[in-house]
């Protein structure tokens, strides 16, 4: 992550949005900056995860999978367990993220990268039939 963007996010989220605490470490709260992800949490339970442009992360996960004839799909949900759409497993397999439909860890990791999130947004669909 760009140093300037990191500093801007640290200033914005230096204080907890719930209790106002600015402490981190020793069980008081956390601050993690990895690649293009910024995470800040507090001992009160508040937490935020955003990308370098301050867009909230969706933490997408695979809720279910199905095979409909030759078509194989994953049902995607966000961190609040809201339906986010379906994606084609055959395409993910061609990209190298899936070996078997029930092995979905690599696909979930991909979905939660900036490139993966963009891919899901462009390739998701909402009707199975």
- Same domain for 118 and 82: yes
- Same domain for 114 and 66: yes
Q: Is the pTM of this model over 0.75?
A: no
CB 116 within 8 A of CB 98: no
Q: What is the per-residue pLDDT across 10-35, written as a single tens digit (0 to 9) for each? A: 999 999 999 999 999 999 999 999 88
Domain residue limits at 35: 3-51
Q: What is the per-residue pLDDT across 87-116, written as a single tens digit (0 to 9) for each? A: 999 999 999 999 999 999 999 989 988 788
Tally of structural domains, the chain: 2
In a domain, 128, yes or no: no
* Beta-sheet strand order (sheet of 37-42): 29-34, 37-42, 47-51
């Amino acid at each position: 992550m760009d140093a300037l963007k990191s500093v801007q996010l640290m200033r914005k989220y230096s204080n907890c949005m719930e209790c106002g605490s600015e402490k981190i470490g020793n069980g008081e709260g956390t601050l993690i900056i990895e690649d293009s992800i910024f995470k800040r949490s507090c001992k009160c339970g508040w937490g935020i995860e955003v990308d370098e442009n301050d867009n909230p992360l969706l933490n997408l996960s695979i809720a279910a999978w199905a095979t409909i004839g030759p078509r194989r799909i994953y049902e995607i949900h966000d961190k609040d367990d809201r339906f986010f759409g379906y994606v084609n497993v055959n395409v993910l397999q061609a990209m190298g993220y899936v070996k078997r439909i029930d092995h979905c860890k690599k696909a979930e990791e991909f979905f939660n990268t900036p490139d993966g999130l963009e891919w899901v947004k462009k390739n998701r669909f909402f009707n199975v039939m």
